[in-house]
Structure 1
């Protein structure tokens, strides 16, 4: 994914970028792309520190819709197909789970008339975990992962393509923590706190 991001940006820069048709108040922008959810390396411990948790990465198609209150200020909603993650305890695969991370962000676009338009955003993430399957050391148990609410920070760049089309490269940090229960008993908290990065093509109308 990182190589794909770099190649896409280089291709846009090599062909040149036309002047961006700047957003106006009342405009909408939709984007379709692909993003990686990459949890931080240390996801915490369970069972009084005896089990070290590790959550692996996954990528899926993503979709965003943004409404512009002004040329600079917009409100964006992020959606995606379900991400699937493998959970390891002390290095052994213990479960697989899926999650959906819808996120709402208020965003500031610095250079709405420029060919290269950086932006930042701050918002709220809700993560729902579902379809959790136990295996290995958790085989035969009932594993439950609580849903999560947390802050989300967003940083990216829009590259003008043609007319109302654009290419976006971006990264988000999400505060995602889930309480873990085994057979109804809480055994700890997993701190996922992923970096979510990727690329998308957008159209404004």
Structure 2
């Protein structure tokens, strides 16, 4: 019995020490970034044959990212922003309307931790974009309600101390939506942006 109690105590001590070590590094990280969204503006099907080349204006947006570290190397990051207005332009018609897009992403990251204050990472996950104000486009056109696609990232944190750091991050987000007039599909607009951002990190 005494041996069993001793073994249980040792296991409990090991679990506790592991939890304390993890807590010292901080299991959570918040990043606030300014992000330049560069839309791909690719097109499929018949869009450009009807109204000319259709493009979405690139723009700067604020971004809030929440991360949880399962281990010192593995983390999950939730990427958030508020609904963004996307201006749509056509070569033959000029500005033809605007839609709103809310594009949260969830990524699993691998962090490289043996480089001192410099902590690079890579991530892979999924993006789910919700489109709103979908029918504010000329010709009576509208876009689909949502899109689902892959998301990938590379970036790094440079930590000034155990809590605060500088973050630089680049993502590719697969994002496309069908453009319809009534029940007729006019084509597919491939937005799929590359986003480049910089900001601050706080780990706790």
TM-score range, shorter chain: 0.7 to 0.9
Residue 174 of structure 1 corresponds to: 173
Q: CA deviation at 1:128?
A: 0.8
Matched, 1:53 2:54: yes
* Partner SS state of residue 50, structure 1: helix
Asked whether the 8 Å contact 2:135–2:143 carries over to 1, the reply is no
Matched, 1:37 2:74: no
Q: CA deviation at 1:82?
A: 1.8
Deviations, residues 67-124 of structure 1 (Å, cap 9, x unaligned) = 1111011011000022221111225111111111100000001125611111100000
Alpha-carbon distance in 2 for matches of 1:41, 1:47? 12
Residue 72 of structure 2 corresponds to: 71
Asked whether the 8 Å contact 2:45–2:186 carries over to 1, the reply is no
Worse-matched range after superposition: 52-61 or 62-71: 52-61
Deviations, residues 124-166 of structure 1 (Å, cap 9, x unaligned) = 000111124635xx15x25233410000011101111233111
Superposition CA RMSD, Å: 2.4
How many pairs align?
A: 182
* Partner SS state of residue 111, structure 1: coil
Alpha-carbon distance in 1 for matches of 2:23, 2:34? 23
Query: Could you list the runs of 5+ residues in structure 2 that have no partner in the other structure?
Result: 1-21
Check 1:194–1:30 CA distance in 2 against 1; reply closer, same or farther (3 A cut). same
* Partner SS state of residue 40, structure 1: coil
* Partner SS state of residue 190, structure 1: strand
Residue 204 of structure 1 corresponds to: 203
